[in-house]
Amino acid sequence: STYTYLFYIPTEPSMTIRQLRNYIDGRFEDGATTFDKHSPVDGRLIAQVHEAGRDQVDRAVAAAHRALPAWAGLPVAARTDHLLALADGITRRFDDFLQAEIGDTGKPVGWAGKIDIPRGAANFRVFAELARTLDMESYMTDTPDGRQALNYAYRKPLGVVGVISPWNLPLLLLTWKVAPALAFGNTVIMKPSEVTPSTATLLAEVAHEAGLPAGVLNLAHGFGPDSAGEFMTTHPDIDGITFTGESATGAAIMRAVAPGVKPVSFELGGKNAALVFADADFEAAVDGVTQSVFANCGQVCLCTERVYVERPIYERFVAALAERARALRIGWPMDPATEMGPLVSREHREKVLSYFALARAEGATVVAGGGVPVFGDARDQGAYVEPTIWTGLAEDARCIKEEVFGPVCHVTPFDTEDEAIRLANDTRYGLAAAVWTQNLTRGHRVAQAMKVGLAWVNCWFLRDLRTPFGGSGLSGIGREGGRHSLHFYTEPTNVCIKL
């Protein structure tokens, strides 16, 4: 159909493959080598990415240091005007960003157009606003001689910040870190995931077009080990690393920064629970859990992979969820009717399918999905899987313990509130949970008992960007969001004045 041609031009000889370059000290640069980026929709080559060498990362860090004093010294209004210009630049090139994000990820236009790109712009606006209205921590202190002292915490930028981001919400999660870093006066080297390099390149173009001073925002493309990621985390002159991605990668980054005792901010994986009580608004709970399991093909760190349902409504709930899963429209990303696109890559599909096989081996009942859809067209070269629901696994099964990061959940019955809390908290992750109940007191009580950074009651993914975001355990270190971001992106100097 026509809309697929907007983006997925079939292999025509004239088709141009985009070249995605590094952006260092205000200039776009080729890399020493390139790697190929393929579409997860139909497998065709869509871009060649210029991998930054160690010398290029070195030059990016040096440029960021040179740019730092002037950037940090700008009046807040001038600095935040730059951020607003970046937000405007994203909005002005909305369609470019949308097509680039969809091209890299295959995510449906309905999702990317409502979530990824608008939030990319909003992140700059929110942190510009925050930087403009920030207050300062201060105390009047009684002194032993009967007089007083004034203490205030003067906050300075952390310095040159390395931002390393994942492929699932590429622009959204990149800007979630770039925006506060810049707002509070830091300069940045950003490294997007090698799987989704396009919107970061567009962001560098927007920064260039908007006249952001050279060296303030640099872009290095590449992989993790023995590539741009590792060159950044082991660099002696980077002052801190803020990272979103897998827990095992977070552990590797911690080891890499340990010799320099660099601060880290980590937003890592999850194995998030939804708790559905018998007194929940049934339809709202089915809707909400369908969203939280299958949104973005299950590739949101906040997605639900474990569902616990109170026994009186268990059978009915599983049946309703399975019906919703089977009815999800899997399709071309540019079709506005599409509700689920492919996974991000064939490689990631191998991982998800390995869990589909493992679940069967561990004794799961496959209530819905469990396989690969067949389209009979170019999408069969893509990375699609079916929305999948399991029941019947023991709570210590690997499929209940390990993050799959695909459109899949397991549903377990429970009998008491205490049991539900215990099951939900029986994980080494600690990112998010959703509680579905009409009982207000129970909603508060259970949400507060969740061992997570984010607990929702009767909703999911509803975000106020001023609130603390992050998790504990294998899910991360620290919180970002609103003034919580200050703690990572600034260093306070406490000034004590005897009065």
Residues of the shown chain interacting with ligand NAD in the complex, contacts defined by CB under 6 A = 164-168, 173, 191, 193-194, 223-225, 229-230, 233, 244-246, 249, 252-253, 267-270, 301, 403, 405, 431, 471, 475-476
Say how far apart CA 283 and CA 301 lie, in whole Å: 24
318 vs 352, beta carbon nearer ligand NAD: 352
User: Chain centroid to CA 220: how far?
Assistant: 19
255 vs 329, beta carbon nearer ligand NAD: 255
For residue 135, the tally of other CB atoms under 10 A from its CB is 6
Say how far apart CA 305 and CA 399 lie, in whole Å: 9
Q: Coil, strand or helix: which one is 275?
A: strand
Tokens 């990572």 identify what position?
488
Look up residue 90 and give its two tokens. Answer: 């994203």
Min dist CB 25 to ligand NAD, Å, is: 21
Say how far apart CA 308 and CA 381 lie, in whole Å: 35
3-state SS of the chain: helix, strand, coil percent to 5?
A: 40, 20, 35
Min dist CB 238 to ligand NAD, Å, is: 11
* Signed CA dihedral, 85, 88, 93, 98: sign only: positive
267 carries an active-site annotation? yes
- Report the length, in residues, of the chain: 499
480 carries an active-site annotation? no
Q: Is 60 left (phi over 0), alpha (psi -120 to 50) or beta?
A: alpha
Among 101, 230, 267, 480, the active-site one is 267
**Which has the closest alpha carbon to 324: 354, 364, 295, 360?**
295
Min dist CB 249 to ligand NAD, Å, is: 3
Q: Are 457 and 447 in contact (CB under 8 A)?
A: yes
Q: At what angle do helices 440-449 and 417-425 cross, to 10 degrees?
A: 30
Residue 175 exposure: Cα atoms within 13 Å on the Cβ side: 33
Burial of 373 by CB count in 10 Å (0-12 exposed, 13-18 middle, 19+ buried)?
A: middle
Q: Coil, strand or helix: which one is 41?
A: coil
Say how far apart CA 371 and CA 388 lie, in whole Å: 8
Tokens 């994203």 identify what position?
90
Q: Are strands 454-457 and 432-436 parallel, antiparallel or unpaired?
A: parallel
Say how far apart CA 172 and CA 498 lie, in whole Å: 46
**Which has the closest alpha carbon to 388: 350, 414, 357?**
357
Say how far apart CA 258 and CA 90 lie, in whole Å: 36
Min dist CB 232 to ligand NAD, Å, is: 7
Min dist CB 404 to ligand NAD, Å, is: 10
CA dist 480 → 159, 170, 452, 469 (Å): 17, 17, 14, 5
CA dist 483 → 85, 184, 330 (Å): 22, 11, 39
Among 301, 303, 399, 409, the active-site one is 301
Min dist CB 429 to ligand NAD, Å, is: 9
Query: Known catalytic residues?
Result: 267, 301
